[in-house]
Amino acid sequence: MEIKFTCTSFLPPNNFGWKSLESNHKLSFGEFGDWPMVISNKVKEDVLVWVIVVEDILSEEILMSNKQEDLNLGKTIIDKALQILSLRLINTTTNTVVAYSAENSNSIIRYAKKKPNSKVLFQYLENCLYDFSNQYKKLLLISLNQVFSNNGINNCFDSRNFYLTRMRFSQLGIKLIAESISSVLTRISKPVAKVLVLDCDNTIWGGVVGESGLSGILIGQDGIGKAFMEFQKSIKELSNNGLILCISSKNDEKDVLNVLKNHDSMILKNEDITVIKSNWNEKFININEISNELGVVLYSI
């Protein structure tokens, strides 16, 4: 897959941070400041990635202000930038990924009394982008602030890089951008899984039911049992969204059915499970049989 990058600041082409993308994709990069032209052009690449940093398109005066006229001006500038994106989405069938962020250097004191324009305008940009994503199937969004949050947003920006080369991001920031884009592209390029095959012991409940019995397994409102209950809630939500649930477990089937039918804390019930293979066969044998019974290929499991 060929990926074209453009950014409101500068992205370094020959950077180790792109490694996770370069192993499977061909990358090309626009020049500093050419993002309106790149977005307007019908690129030959399979995917266009536009990286937006709010501070690149809005002045510090607008972002640090609390005045309504500055807020209105900021929204107008965002609208003009997104108009270019809108024209692209109307006129092209290739995937477009918009990864957006804000360095957000406002101090905690500025937030203590009134919301600065920077926060309002970032939210305005995000809302506009999601409105677009509802209209255009080929638009995919990545909130870089969310991606950066686990590592600390300040660690993902580097003012030295910006003043030297007009690159906003640190080495860590580049790496995380590449990894997030790789995850999104993997999701759209590979078939969606249709079937989830679950084990039982120490997976949907704690302990071994064949040894502990119905009352001895761990699942409930307290302690580690709550973790298994929360896991089952997540699985139940996947099932409600169309994923087929199956079980492959080295257990006597009667023990598994007893838990599914009779344990008060079980979120998953017998009727939620389409196929149960509870026996002493190797699991790959059970999974092959599940594939045949459901009529789905193995890469859908």
Under 8 Å between Cβ of 102 and 118: yes
With pLDDT > 70 as the criterion, what percentage of the chain qualifies? Answer: 95
Q: Which CATH class is domain 195-300?
A: alpha beta
Token pair for residue 128?
């506009």
Q: What is the pLDDT along the chain (301 residues), one digit of tens a residue?
A: 899 999 999 999 989 999 989 888 899 999 999 999 999 987 677 899 999 999 999 998 998 888 899 999 999 999 999 999 999 999 888 899 999 999 875 556 566 666 778 889 999 999 999 999 999 989 999 999 999 998 998 899 999 999 999 999 999 999 999 999 998 988 776 667 789 999 999 999 999 999 989 989 999 878 899 999 999 999 999 999 889 999 999 999 999 999 999 999 999 999 999 999 999 999 999 999 999 999 988 877 7
Mean pLDDT of the chain: 91
Instruction: Name the β-bridge partners of 141.
Output: 98
Q: Name the burial class of residue 247, with classes exposed (0-12), middle (13-18) and buried (19+) by CB atoms within 10 angstroms of its CB.
A: buried
Question: For residue range 146-194, what is the model confidence (pLDDT) as tens digits?
Answer: 999 989 988 999 999 999 999 999 999 999 999 999 989 887 766 677 8
Give residue for tokens 């049992």. 225
Nearest to 104 by CA among 89, 118, 114: 118
- Whether 2-189 shares its CATH topology with 195-300 is answered yes
Question: For residue range 11-33, what is the model confidence (pLDDT) as tens digits?
Answer: 999 899 999 898 888 999 999 99
Written as one letter, the residue type at 202 is N
pLDDT value at residue 116: 77
**Domain-wise residue ranges, the chain:** 2-189, 195-300
Under 8 Å between Cβ of 5 and 28: yes
pTM of the model: 0.73
Under 8 Å between Cβ of 38 and 48: yes
What are the DSSP calls for 218-235, one per residue?
A: B-SSSHHHHHHHHHHHHH
H or E element in which residue 100 lies = strand 95-101
CATH classification number, 2-189, choose in 3.40.50.620, 3.40.50.150, 3.40.50.1110, 1.10.8.60: 3.40.50.1110
Under 8 Å between Cβ of 187 and 95: no
Under 8 Å between Cβ of 249 and 277: yes
